[in-house]
Structure 1
Amino acid sequence: MKNFMMGLARFMALLGGFVLTLLIVLTCISILGRLLNGFFHGPLMETMAPGFARWMIDLGVGPVNGDFELVESGVAFAIFAFIPLCQITAGHASVDILTNRFSAAVNRFLRMITEIVFAAVLILIAWKLYDGMLSKMRYNETSFLLQFPIWWAYAASLFGAVVAAVVGTYVAAVRIYEFGTGRIVIWDGVETGS
């Protein structure tokens, strides 16, 4: 089960990284287009090469239409895609100035409680995303510029959130087992498949 969950978490992180990379490229292209559009509309190009400037503008050189809508939707998915790997490797930020002074048993208990709460929150988020997606579908809401159905973004985020909830629930179960037995199954910050 551990290998499957680690593989699922890695797959989601790779998918999230791919989407994030596409969004970065899209943003760079849009910024470059915005700069070029301003340059072609500028006084230098209007006096030196007005025909070329008009031709480039007519070609569509400019910002990507609806880029912020795509980035908004894609980043929401990417965030949920990275949570499973962070969860299973205990990669979340922690402040352990106080807990370093506690015994191993107390730390296992605190870790168990934290993971149970985290799993419950992930389940709640997935549930509310599902409700939100149904609402967006019911009212046929679309984005302002691109007019794509908003529920698509909710569905992508819901997919990531469900995987995060599944991995979070698994990690919570592991932490319960670890607390009960004193045996460590998932080491902090370790991304091994064994």
Structure 2
Amino acid sequence: MKSPLGRALRQSSLLFAVLGGGVACIVAGMTVTSIVMRALLSRPIGGDVELTQFGIALTISLCLPWAQLHGANIIVDFFTQALPERATRRLDAVGALLLAAMCALLSWRTSVGAIAVREAGETTMILDLPMWWAYASLAPGLALTALIALVQAARCLRGGDLIEN
């Protein structure tokens, strides 16, 4: 993506992926620490499962844009290998549009869910953390993935490739 929009999407998705990787490393460190504490002291980190669930959901959400930008999401091309390049590009565009619609819908609904859960005052069982934090943290990654997929669909419909080299 060589346009200003493309550069902004690349930089944003890289930042999100680095943050997601950082969250994954923190979760991994906490999990190892909790297991060692459980084995040696019979006292794991309280709420480690809740924190792991939040952290991994956030990691996935933050890494989705980078994966979509680089075509690292699953593509099944067994049945389309023999198709002409133009037909393949159109199918890629349809797939990108469907992904954009799904991620936009998920981003919107997690945002609405965050508001509803916040108003309800729902918290986690063990740590009593506000549940809306988890919902709200998923929306930005999903929204960025939707935007990237939309740009990719437009590129395919103009005759370009899904992934820009």
TM-score, L = length of structure 2? 0.91
Partner of residue 103, structure 1: 84
Partner of residue 26, structure 1: 30
How far apart in 1 are the matches of 2:45 and 2:162?
48
Residues 90 and 185 of structure 1: is their aligned pair in 2 closer, same or farther, counting only changes over 3 Å? closer
Tell me the amino acid that sits aligned with residue 135 of structure 1: A
SS at match of 1:134: helix
How far apart in 2 are the matches of 1:31 and 1:130?
34
Provide the aligned length of Structure 1 versus Structure 2: 161
Percentage of matched positions with identical amino acids: 28
Give the superposition deviation at 1:185: 7.0
Q: Show structure 2 runs of 5+ residues with no match.
A: none
Divergent runs of 4+, >6 A: none
The Cα offsets for residues 125-161 of structure 1, whole Å up to 9 and x where unpaired, read as 0011012101111100011111110001111112222
Partner of residue 141, structure 1: 122
How far apart in 1 are the matches of 2:77 and 2:160?
21
Matched, 1:120 2:97: no
Partner of residue 75, structure 2: 94
Matched, 1:186 2:153: no
Backbone CA RMSD of aligned residues = 1.5
Partner of residue 11, structure 1: 15
Match for 2:66 among 85, 89, 104? 85
Asked if the contact 2:97–2:150 (Cα under 8 Å) also holds between the matched residues in 1, the reply is: yes
Tell me the amino acid that sits aligned with residue 133 of structure 2: W
Asked if the contact 2:152–2:162 (Cα under 8 Å) also holds between the matched residues in 1, the reply is: no
SS at match of 1:94: coil
TM-score, L = length of structure 1? 0.78
Q: Show structure 1 runs of 5+ residues with no match.
A: 39-61
Partner of residue 73, structure 1: 54
Structure with max Cα Rg: 1
How far apart in 2 are the matches of 1:27 and 1:174?
42
Tell me the amino acid that sits aligned with residue 171 of structure 1: Q
